[in-house]
């Protein structure tokens, strides 16, 4: 309830079917996929337009910005993919299928004529990946080589995309955060002190030299590629043995070691220095909730492999034709300003707008007073692009 207006939260399910050689989510029946959705709107209001949010692991129906947009009079739908709350075995191509089922339902069953994707945080690259495949369907298998035909899904294109505190992709973000001091995944706590930014004995201390930054980033990419090579070898071995659906789960240690968390001169912004969105970076680096901490062979290739993921936000952005709004929160501890700028620059057409929300944090939890500015930026863009009815 805000200003006497009641916010309605209407949960519902969208079902769709697919064929798969194995299960990667808990429970369920046969080939039936259940997509949990929630429609959020002010009581007594009607609209022919909807903002549809989704995120690879969902769970954002109560995010401050999602609720604030609904309070402002927009109809909002939050779509949880089948992997809600657990990205261990997540396949990005299947997230696209789930989002497509939600959009089709919103158009055909709920009657929305205009749909805008709300790409918040990791939902930004998912939205771009979705729109790329809706406009330019091309994928018929996952990066692991498993059949998965998005060209047969008849994905309804969105009419616009809002990239809100978004990063460029899960794979790029992970790579930029990986701890390159781990040079042997089988001995993750034997670390190269010259690449361990949390080791006081490291002779390379902030402010880091350009040469050290270049060395560090190269080592981060090398580590991502070593894991990818091992994953491919494991899958190839299973197939040679006649076990094409066999899987393996594994742990990736040390995935929260971005240089920007120990050196404020890296990725300069209005954020608080020496911290990250999971707290103390040194602790989060080996904590249980870091990016890609628990994953599988197929999931690594689909969402975390720098060279293998199809959810390449910058590449996807270059191929879409719908209008795009990029909103950057200047005090964001997770998605730093360079990600917003890279996304904006990647959009190849000129129907794009960039806006900064000065001093806003990632979730608007610390600065809820800045929500009206974010909502106003979204609403003004929607009106200018004739995306609200």
Query: What do you get for the CA distance between the two ends of the chain, in Å?
Result: 24
Q: What angle do CA 122, 330, 352 make, to 5 degrees?
A: 65
Say how far apart CA 275 and CA 258 lie, in whole Å: 11
Across the range 356-376, mean pLDDT stands at: 97
pLDDT above 70 coverage of the chain, percent: 98
Output the six-digit token pair for 289: 């909730």
Beta-strand relationship, 324-329 and 76-80: unpaired
Q: Which two tokens stand for residue 31?
A: 């080939």
**Residues facing residue 164 across a β-bridge:** 120, 327
Rounded distance between C-alpha atoms, residue 378 and residue 97, angstroms: 26
- Asked if pLDDT for residue 2 goes beyond 60, the answer is no
Does residue 3 surpass a pLDDT of 60? Answer: no
CA 9 to chain centre: 24
- Mind listing the pLDDT tens digit for each residue in 169-195? 999 999 999 999 999 999 999 999 999
Q: What is the mean pLDDT of the chain?
A: 96
Rg (Cα) of the chain, in Å, rounded?
21
The full set of domain ranges for the chain reads 7-169+309-384, 174-304
The predicted structure's pLDDT at residue 202 = 98
Token readout for 337 is 């300003």
pLDDT grade, residue 28 (50/70/90)? low
Instruction: Please state the length of the chain.
Output: 389
- pTM score: 0.96
Query: Angle at CA 127, nearest 5°, toward 125 and 129?
Result: 65
Give 35-74 pLDDT, tens digit per residue: 999 999 999 999 999 999 999 999 999 999 999 999 999 9
Q: State residue 22's pLDDT score.
A: 75
CATH number of 7-169+309-384, picked from 3.30.230.70, 3.40.50.80, 3.40.50.300, 3.40.50.1820: 3.40.50.1820
Confidence of residue 4 (pLDDT cuts 50, 70, 90): low
pLDDT of 258-291, one tens digit each?
Answer: 999 999 999 999 999 999 999 999 999 999 999 9
Residue 174's contacts (CB-CB under 8 Å, 6 or more residues apart) are 224, 255, 291, 292, 304, 306
Our CA angle for 148, 153, 157, nearest 5°, is 125
Q: What integer is the mean pLDDT of 353-359?
A: 98
């Amino acid at each position: 309830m805000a200003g006497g207006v009641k916010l309605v939260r209407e949960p519902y399910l969208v079902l769709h079917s697919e064929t798969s050689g194995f299960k990667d989510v808990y429970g369920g029946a046969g080939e039936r996929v259940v997509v949990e959705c929630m429609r959020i709107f002010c009581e007594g209001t009607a609209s022919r337009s909807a903002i549809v949010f989704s995120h690879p692991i969902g769970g954002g129906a109560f995010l401050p910005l999602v609720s604030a947009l609904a309070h402002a009079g927009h109809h909002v739908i939050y779509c949880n993919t089948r992997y809600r709350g657990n990205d261990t075995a997540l396949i990005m191509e299947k997230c696209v299928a789930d989002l497509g089922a939600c959009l089709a339902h919103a158009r055909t069953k709920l009657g929305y004529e205009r749909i805008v994707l709300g790409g918040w945080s990791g939902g930004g690259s998912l939205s771009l990946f979705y729109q790329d495949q809706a406009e330019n369907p091309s994928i018929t298998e996952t990066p692991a080589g498993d059949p998965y035909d998005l060209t047969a899904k008849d994905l309804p294109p969105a009419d616009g995309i809002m990239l809100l505190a978004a990063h460029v992709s899960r794979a790029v973000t992970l790579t930029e955060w990986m701890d390159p001091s781990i040079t042997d995944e089988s001995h993750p706590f034997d670390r190269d002190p010259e690449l361990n930014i949390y080791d006081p004995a490291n002779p390379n201390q902030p402010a880091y030299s350009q040469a050290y930054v270049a060395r560090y980033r190269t080592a981060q990419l090398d580590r991502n590629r070593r894991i990818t090579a091992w994953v491919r070898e494991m899958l190839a071995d299973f197939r040679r043995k006649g076990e094409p659906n066999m899987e393996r789960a594994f742990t990736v240690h040390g995935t929260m070691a971005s240089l920007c968390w120990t050196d404020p001169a890296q990725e300069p912004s209005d954020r608080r220095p020496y911290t990250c969105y999971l707290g103390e970076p040194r602790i989060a680096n080996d904590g249980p909730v870091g990016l890609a901490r628990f994953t599988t062979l197929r999931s690594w290739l689909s969402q975390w492999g720098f060279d293998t993921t199809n959810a390449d936000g910058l590449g996807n952005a270059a191929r879409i034709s719908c209008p795009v709004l990029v909103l950057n929160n200047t005090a964001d501890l997770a998605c730093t300003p360079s990600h917003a700028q890279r996304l904006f620059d990647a959009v190849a057409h000129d129907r794009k707008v960039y806006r900064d929300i000065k001093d806003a944090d990632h979730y608007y939890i610390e600065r809820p007073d800045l929500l009206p500015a974010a909502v106003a930026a979204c609403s003004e863009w929607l009106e200018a692009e004739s995306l609200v009815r």
